Amino acid sequence: MADIRITQAHKLPHKKAKAAAQKVADQMAEEYEMSSEWDGDVLKFKRSGVSGKLVVLEKEAHLEISLGFLFKAFSSTIEEKVAAKMKKVFSAKA
């Protein structure tokens, strides 16, 4: 079960929404040393102690993150930071 769930509405065309999702993943990879890969419209990511997926839909992006024991103490901080990044990249103009 995911420890963090974020849904971000968007008005981007599908291709741009996937590009926005990749931008979030790239930032997370740089900041948290995560690897990611696409499976259709689902971007799966992981690193030691953290895993999750970002599902890109027509008008929404759904993010689920599962945290290992050591990261659970920082879940609210992680959620705030990731939610802010998602809002920024998915609110970009089409």
pLDDT tens per residue across span 40-56: 999 999 999 999 999 99
pLDDT value for 93:
65
Q: What is the mean pLDDT of residues 10-24?
A: 90
- Which residues, other chains included, contact 52 with Cβ-Cβ below 8 Å and sequence gap of 6+? 2, 4, 44, 45, 46, 63, 64, 65, 66
Residue 5: name the closest of 59, 54, 41, 45 by CA: 54
Q: Are 46 and 35 in contact (CB under 8 A)?
A: yes
In the predicted structure, residue 66 carries a pLDDT above the cut 70:
yes
Binned at pLDDT 50, 70 and 90, residue 27 comes out as confident
In the predicted structure, residue 94 carries a pLDDT above the cut 70:
no
